[in-house]
Structure 1
Amino acid sequence: MTSPNIRFSAYSDKWEKETVGDVSKVTSGGTPNRANPAYWGGSIPWVTTSLIDFNKIVSADEFITDEGLKGSSAKLFPKGTLLIALYGQGVTRGKVALLDIDATTNQACAAMMFDKNKVYQDFAFFQLMSKYEGIRNLANDGGQKNLSGGLIKSLELTLPSIKEQRQIADFLSSVDKKISLLKEKHALLKQYKKGVMQKLFKQEIRFKDDNGNDFPDRQELRFEQVFERVTRKNKEDNQNVLTISAQRGLINQEKYFNKSVSAKNVTGYYLLEKGDFAYNKSYSKGYPMGAIKRLNNYDKGVVSTLYICFKSHGEQHDEFWEQYFEAGNLNREINKIAQEGARNHGLLNVSVTEFFHDVKVVAPCAEEQQKIADFLRVLDIKLDAVNQQIELTQTFKKGLLQQMFV
């Protein structure tokens, strides 16, 4: 057998090829009868494919009883067992995870318990992770493409000595640890920003002006007193069709979906210019009343006329209002005008007229808006920097997975 492109210098032996079935016991779990309450609510963790995500599983969402274990095809697997999703929604199929607890699983998970004299389970975890796309493509044909126990047993592993396996796995685990710490740092920063925003917009924290004096009281204004609607049509046939992403804001549709989902003729779409806002009335996770985003990434772009588009007028700082909307400060106001029972495919029934006339905003003076925006921008810069570190480290790990295995 050949050797990988990247290898620790202390090793030179060739890697040997084995199948998963040759070096492990492969089995699957089961689901106790849901109709029997005596089977559920115990202390034995029960794992489903929703928890399998190239990770170590440290807890479960559901638990079964000893009676449920004995009275069903569920099996108790020991800590260190490697799980792979045989099927599941979206991209779940083919993902792997290591049990960090003793647990049972459902039948959609295959469990691999390796011969410890031949395979270090963490090494197998990373090698199967590196083969994820190929494993997915092995799925049986049919309405729902699934993997099977037989396919899992036929998967090939290339194995160096146990000592080298452990060193490779420990190195990759250290990279995972760094990614985990960066994600934790990002989550804490995001939580801090959220808490600060709440205090700023509730006026529990107030800035002073440059002379150390209080700013004037904030005014409650109708939306139309601060913003005007944008309805300019795409007469120039701009082809930069945009969609709203919760994380990435207004972004090119093809870049986001990897395909075009717009009409062929987009001359009837609204043409946005840099700094304009768009409100997508579709509710989604984190945006119960829809999302408002500002066009920051392009000079121009077009959106569906289902969006409500607008720009500020008068002495306003758009960076402040961008943070104001992102904090969900319009949710209660929009909820007042959204018609009950009129939700269709996730789309809120919000009247444009009521949106501009009946929705209220609480507006600080322009100077205070600027101070708030500047403060929150510093936090955003820190969040972006940590997020970039996460992406770079994940890219580094992806490269390692490609180069450290045969």
Structure 2
Amino acid sequence: MPKQEKNIPALRFPEFKGEWVKHTFESLYRCVPTNSFSRNDLQEEPSEISNIHYGDIHTAYNSKFRFSSERVPFVINDKLDKLRNYTRVKKGDLIFADASEDVDDIGKMIEVVELGNAQLVSGLHTIHATPKKANSMASGFSADLFKTTKVRQQIIKESQGAKILGLSAKRLAKTSLIIPGYKEQQKIAAFLSAIDDKIAQIQKKKGLLEGYKKGCMQKLFSQEIRFSDDKGDAFPNWEVKKLKNLTSVITKGTTPTSVGYNFTDKGVNFIKAESLDSTYKIIEDKIAYISLECHESLKRSQIFEGDLLFSIAGTLGRSAIAKKQYLPANINQAISVIRLKDITTAEYINHFLNSFLIRKKIKQILSVGAQPNLSLDQVGDFKIQYPCLDEQRKIADFLTAIDEKIALVSEELEKAKAFKKGLLQQMFV
């Protein structure tokens, strides 16, 4: 019986045969010292040397790092002399974030695929790895290799710490990497980079739509532009009303454990601040559950169809309209429920609560307060620019139509990302 070949991907270009070869990270890369400059040692103004900060690996940079496409801070002039003996980053180098509060982000990395003539160093809480042999790793291949489940699991296993996870170069060195020959690497990297380009195009489209909506909201709510009625005539002048004068209830919830109940695996939906996203939607997989008994005991914070949910702690100012499919439901203390006297105004008020005027008000409140949260009285005192109902509907319909376009592009983006993720699991060993 022939020996079964194990190190062969499930999905492969037909011109390549044979098993991939197993290596350790330290056999392919050597790690070099990095500096420990904090954000205070960096600046936006250009200087001789740029610096990779681990926080930007977590939040800003593409895994296939192109210097010309990224905003990389510069080292302040007073610190440049201290970098004389530090190895400069080269094309093909890998830079890992060696600290994270989130297990999913520990060891997150970038591969430098384009650098130009930039002088670049690797900074605080990073591991800088450079290939031991020239042309041993095809450009862009490692950026995808280190996203695969098998490699990520190894890195997570090697991380240490309780609140803050850490990854050392010594532990990273033992990571097992199964890779093909250079030409097959090139073919895989080129194929996946084409998909990355498609994802980037969709992301750009989404960003343009979001920017368009933001501009429209500013012009609409500042009354720089106005709708006309169906006859082409001007609508009446707007009023300014406090939110509390438009509502029958503004209240908030509580944590079930504070009143003797526990969360459950299923039951009544329990919505928290993290259950609301930035697009006025409830995130279904971030809804918790409580028992019906608990729900009935928390009568004050029971949700009804058409209620507005508005976050007052944590990530402030996110909102959503309670739809029928989420009921029955309850909320915690980080969410205020706003029950309008006229439910037909809900769509308009929801959009207005996400306007620059409310964001500006929240910033004013936070600038004089000790705690990063909002009281119910402060929410009730929000001043609402209040057109007649017909103009409200036109504004709400217009902005909702843009939201629907953004949602379609977001769905397209998620599908493209899922497609890429599936390929990563099939095209690597």
Question: Shorter-chain TM-score: what band?
Answer: 0.7 to 0.9
Deviations 1:172-216 (A, max 9, x none): 111111111111111111011010111111111111111111111
What SS class does the counterpart of residue 25 from structure 1 fall into? Answer: strand
Cα pair 2:93 2:111 within 8 Å, conserved: yes
Cα pair 1:193 1:379 within 8 Å, conserved: yes
What SS class does the counterpart of residue 173 from structure 2 fall into? Answer: helix
User: Which residue type is aligned with residue 256 of structure 1?
Assistant: K
Pick one of 381, 395, 399 that aligns with 2:418: 395
Deviation at 1:116, TM superposition (A): 2.9
> Partner of 2:109 in structure 1?
96
Matched, 1:187 2:214: no
User: Which residue type is aligned with residue 158 of structure 1?
Assistant: I
Pick one of 96, 116, 123 that aligns with 2:134: 116
RMSD in angstroms over aligned alpha carbons? 3.4
Matched, 1:173 2:196: no
Aligned residues: 390
> Partner of 1:279 in structure 2?
310
Cα pair 1:32 1:69 within 8 Å, conserved: no
Pick one of 54, 67, 72 that aligns with 1:60: 72
After superposition, where does 1:259-274 map in structure 2 within 5 Å?
265-266=294-295, 267-268=297-298, 270-274=301-305
> Partner of 1:347 in structure 2?
373
CA distance in 1, matches of 2:362, 2:80: 47
Cα pair 1:75 1:104 within 8 Å, conserved: yes
Deviation at 1:141, TM superposition (A): 5.8
Cα pair 2:202 2:409 within 8 Å, conserved: yes
CA distance 1:29–1:313, change in 2 (3 Å): same
More helix by share: 2
Cα pair 1:124 1:157 within 8 Å, conserved: no
After superposition, where does 1:313-392 map in structure 2 within 5 Å?
313-314=341-342, 316-331=344-359, 338=365, 341-344=368-371, 346-348=372-374, 350-352=375-377, 355-356=379-380, 358-392=381-415
CA distance 1:147–1:304, change in 2 (3 Å): closer
CA distance 1:80–1:323, change in 2 (3 Å): same
Query: Structure 1 unaligned runs (5+)?
Result: none
Deviation at 1:271, TM superposition (A): 0.4
Cα pair 1:86 1:93 within 8 Å, conserved: yes
Cα pair 2:252 2:337 within 8 Å, conserved: no
After superposition, where does 1:1-400 map in structure 2 within 5 Å?
2-31=7-36, 42-53=47-58, 54-58=63-67, 59-63=71-75, 68=80, 74-90=86-102, 91-99=104-112, 100-101=114-115, 102-106=119-123, 108-114=125-131, 115-130=133-148, 131-140=151-160, 144-229=164-249, 239-244=268-273, 245-247=276-278, 249=280, 251=282, 255-256=285-286, 265-266=294-295, 267-268=297-298, 270-282=301-313, 284=315, 287=316, 290-296=317-323, 298-304=326-332, 307-314=335-342, 316-331=344-359, 338=365, 341-344=368-371, 346-348=372-374, 350-352=375-377, 355-356=379-380, 358-400=381-423
CA distance in 2, matches of 1:96, 1:335: 34
Cα pair 1:186 1:383 within 8 Å, conserved: yes
CA distance in 2, matches of 1:292, 1:32: 39
Deviations 1:336-385 (A, max 9, x none): 8x5975433x223x353x654x4432211111111111111211111001
Deviation at 1:41, TM superposition (A): 7.3
Say which is worse superposed, 57-66 or 184-193, in terms of deviation: 57-66
CA distance 1:261–1:330, change in 2 (3 Å): farther
CA distance in 1, matches of 2:355, 2:120: 40
CA distance in 2, matches of 1:51, 1:57: 14
Deviation at 1:333, TM superposition (A): 5.6
TM (norm. structure 1) is 0.84
TM (norm. structure 2) is 0.80
CA distance in 1, matches of 2:391, 2:214: 19
CA distance in 1, matches of 2:290, 2:106: 26
CA distance 1:221–1:401, change in 2 (3 Å): same
Cα pair 1:243 1:251 within 8 Å, conserved: no
CA distance in 2, matches of 1:183, 1:117: 32
Deviation at 1:80, TM superposition (A): 2.5
Deviation at 1:323, TM superposition (A): 0.9
What SS class does the counterpart of residue 317 from structure 1 fall into? Answer: helix
User: Which residue type is aligned with residue 352 of structure 2?
Assistant: Y
CA distance 1:85–1:221, change in 2 (3 Å): closer
CA distance in 1, matches of 2:252, 2:20: 64
Deviation at 1:312, TM superposition (A): 2.1
Deviations 1:267-310 (A, max 9, x none): 225101121013332263xx4xx344322351331113564322
User: Which residue type is aligned with residue 395 of structure 2?
Assistant: I
Say which is worse superposed, 113-122 or 392-401, in terms of deviation: 113-122
CA distance 1:95–1:314, change in 2 (3 Å): closer
Say which is worse superposed, 314-323 or 180-189, in terms of deviation: 314-323
Deviation at 1:247, TM superposition (A): 2.3
